[in-house]
Structure 1
Amino acid sequence: MTSSSNEGYSTEKVRVSADFLKSKMGNVKPKIGIICGSGLSGLGEVVENKIVVKYSEIPSFVESTVPGHKGQLVFGQISGKDVVCMQGRFHPYEGYPGWVVGFPLRVMKLIGIEMVLATNAAGGINPEFKVGDFMLIKDHISFTGLAGYTPLVGPNDSSFGPRFPPMNDAYDKNLRTLFKQCASDLGYDDFMRDGVYCNVFGPSYETIAELRLLLKLGGDAAGMSTVQEVVTARHCGIKVIACSLITNECILEYDTDKTVCHDEVLQTANDRAHQMQTLVTNSQTSRTHWQPLHCS
C-alpha cells in the first residue's frame, strides 16, 4: 500500500473497530489517549489494571513493523484516570496510506477520547538542543502533508469534521502552558524546550543540505511521525499536546565522521524513559495540571 488516497477508508470500518474495542474495555471509559513513540512504549507500563489488545486483533488495524513499537493498545488507569495507550504507531514509510496512519485517532474519537498526548523520538536541528532534551511541540512543518500525503485526502467524512479543518491551533496552547509548568515543578527546566517539529517521510535520515534547509525554515527537530495523527485528531475535534524526545543531534557539517542510527535513538529513549513516565504521571496526578487535560 503506497497510495495516500482513502479509497479503503470508510466510516463503517471505524465503527466496527470502535465497537470491538468497547467490548474489550470493560469498565474503562478513557477520555485521554497517549501515543508512545520509538522506544517510549514504557509509558504504557505505568498503566494500572491493564487491558491489552493487540493490533492484530482489532478490525482494520495494521501491524506496527518498527523496532521499539509493541503494536498494542493498553487500557487502564494512570493516577486513577482512565486512559488508553498506543504502544506503537503506523508510519508513512511503512507503506501505509495516510488514512491508515490516522485511522486509530478516528477510532479513539468514537470510544470517547477528547485529548491526545503524542510522543515521538526526533533529531535535534536547533544547535542549542541536546540529546535527551524534551521538546514540547508548538507547531509543525509537514513536508509530507504539503506534498499531498495526508489522512484527509479524498472525500471528506463530515461525521468527523469539516472539509477544511484549521491547523493554526493544532497544539493546544493552554495544555502546553500547563505541561511546561508541570515539567518545571519536577525540576525538568534544564532539558525542557519548545519548538517546531519538521515532519519528513523517511525512512532514510536527512542529508546535511536538507537539514540546513529545515533549520533556515525555522525547524527545531525532525521526525517521521506524529503529524498525520495530529491532523486526524484535530479534524475530529480532539485536543492535542505533543512532546518530542531529542534522541540524536542532526549532522549539519560535512567535515565530520559522526553518523546516526536507530539503535542510538532507542538507547536515548530508554535512558530518558523514566523522566517521560514521571512527567506524564505527574501531569495527571496534579488536579491543577490535569483538569484541562481531562477536558472537563
Structure 2
Amino acid sequence: MWEKVQETVQFLQSKCDFVPEYGIILGSGLGKFAKEIKITCSLPYSDIPNFPVSTVFGHKGKLLFGTVGDKKVVAMQGRFHYYEGYSMQEVTFPVRVMKYLGIQKLIVSNASGGVHTNYEVGDIILIKDHINFMPEHPLRGPNEERFGPRFVNMNEPYSKKMIAQAQKIALKNGIKVQEGIYFGLQGPTFETLAEYNMVAKMGGDCVGMSTVPEVIVARHMEIETFGISVITDIGREGFLETISHDEVLQAAKLAEPKVCLLIKKMIEND
C-alpha cells in the first residue's frame, strides 16, 4: 500500500504541480461544488495509477485540483463504495493519496436516510460522530506505521472546531443545520423499516453507505475531518414506499446550493 500511494502521488505531482491544503470528497448529488473551484488541473480516475473507478450513476469520477478563495484544494468528484466490490483499502486509497499530496483537512459529504424524528428530506446534518456497522474495517491487517499507529484514537473523528465554524457560517447565512450521528451500513440496498428502527435504537440519527471508512483512514493519518450529510429519504413508517436512487439524487440536488455555500465559506474563512 505504501508503495502504491507514493507511486500515485508522484504521478499526480508530475501532472499537477500543486500542494493542496484541503481534500474534499463530493458524494451523491453534491458534485456541483466543482463549480465553486477555480480548476487548474483535472484528471479522470481512469487515468490515475492504482485508482479505482466509480461505478455509481451521479458520481463523475474526476480528481480536481484548484482554489477556493485563496485556499488550494483537491476534490474527488465521486467516491468509491465497499458495495461496488472494492476492498476497504481501495475505497480509502484516495484519502491516503490526498494526505501525501499535502492536505491538512478533509471535508466529506454524503446523502443519507434520516431516522431522527426531527429530520425531514432536504435537511443538512453536521456529522458529530459515527457508528461503524460495516462488515469490514479499513485498518484490518498488518499496520503500516508510516501511515499511522496500530490503534487509532477515535474520540473526535469529526473536528469540533470545524463543526463550530460551520454552525457560525450557517447562522450568518440563514442556513438551517442540525447535528447528528451517522450510522454506516454496507448497502447497496436501502434499509428495511426494521433496519431503520434498529439504527434509531442503536443511537444513529441517519444512515448511509459511505464516509465511515474514509474518516477512519483520515484519522489514522491525523487529518482533521469534517462531515456533512443531506437527508434524502426518511426511515420511518409511511415513508418507504417509493424511495429510489433517482429520488435520492433529486433530494440532494435541492439542498446542494446551501451545502456548496457552507463548504465554500468554511474554506474561504479558515
Normalising by the smaller structure, the TM-score range is over 0.9
1:257/1:80 CA distance change after superposition, 3 Å: closer
Give, in whole Å, the separation in 2 of the partners of 1:37 and 1:91: 11
Q: Which residue in the other structure is 2:251 paired with?
A: 268
Matched, 1:181 2:168: yes
CA distance in 2, matches of 1:113, 1:98: 21
SS state at 1:33 partner:
strand
Q: What is the distance in 2 between the residues matched to 1:256 and 1:75?
A: 40
Matched, 1:44 2:34: yes
Q: Aligned partners of 1:203 and 1:257: how far apart in 2?
A: 16
AA at the equivalent of 2:8: S
Distance 1:32 1:205, change over 3 A: same
| CA distance 1:275–1:256, change in 2 (3 Å) | closer
Give the equivalent residue in structure 2 for 1:142: 132
Q: CA deviation at 1:248?
A: 1.3
CA offset at residue 29 of structure 1?
Answer: 1.8
How far apart are residue 257 of structure 1 and its match?
7.0
Structure 1: gaps (5+ residues): 1-9, 291-296
- Aligned residue in 2 for 1:293: none
Quote the Cα distance in structure 1 between the aligned partners of 2:26 and 2:191. 23
Q: Which residue is equivalent to 1:281? A: 264
Shift of the alpha carbon at 1:275? Answer: 1.2
Percentage of identical aligned residues:
44
Output the amino acid matched with 2:263. Answer: V
Shift in Å, 1:217: 1.3
15, 27, 30: which one aligns with 2:6: 15
Deviations 1:251-290 (A, max 9, x none): x22x67723110011011111211111111122233xxx1
Q: 2:190 aligns with which of 198, 205, 217?
A: 205
Equivalent residue for 1:229, pick from 201, 214, 218 = 214
Equivalent position of 2:52 in the other structure? 62
Moved over 6 A (4+): none
Structure 1: which amino acid aligns with 2:122?
G
Write the letter of the residue equivalent to 1:55.
Answer: Y
> Counterpart of 2:148 in 1: which secondary structure?
coil
| SS of residue in 2 equivalent to 1:270 | helix
Query: Following the alignment from structure 1 to structure 2, what is the Cα–Cα distance between the partners of residues 12 and 121?
Result: 33
1:77 maps to 2:67: yes
Q: Paired residue for 1:126?
A: 116
Aligned to 1:4: none
Aligned residues of 2:127 and 2:158 also touching (Cα < 8 A):
yes
Q: Structure 2 CA distance, aligned partners of 1:233 and 1:97?
A: 17
Instruction: State the Cα RMSD in Å.
Output: 1.2
| Residue 102 (structure 1) aligns with | 92
Runs of at least 5 residues in structure 2 that lack an aligned partner in the other structure: none
Hey, what's the Cα distance between the residues in 2 that align with 1:256 and 1:130? Answer: 11
Contact 2:31 2:78 in 1 (8 A): yes
State the 1:50 CA deviation.
3.2
Amino acid at match of 1:23: S
1:148-204 deviations in Å (ceiling 9; x for gaps): x1111111010010001111111111111111111111111xx30101000000000
Following the alignment from structure 2 to structure 1, what is the Cα–Cα distance between the partners of residues 139 and 266? Answer: 31
**Which residue in 2 is equivalent to 1:87?**
77
2:137 and 2:62 mapped to 1: Cα distance?
Answer: 23
CA distance in 2, matches of 1:117, 1:285: 13
Asked whether the 8 Å contact 2:39–2:64 carries over to 1, the reply is no
Deviations 1:66-101 (A, max 9, x none): 011111110000112110110011001000011001
Which is worse superposed, 39-48 or 221-230? 39-48
Give the TM-score normalised by the residue count of structure 1.
Answer: 0.89
TM-score (norm 2): 0.97
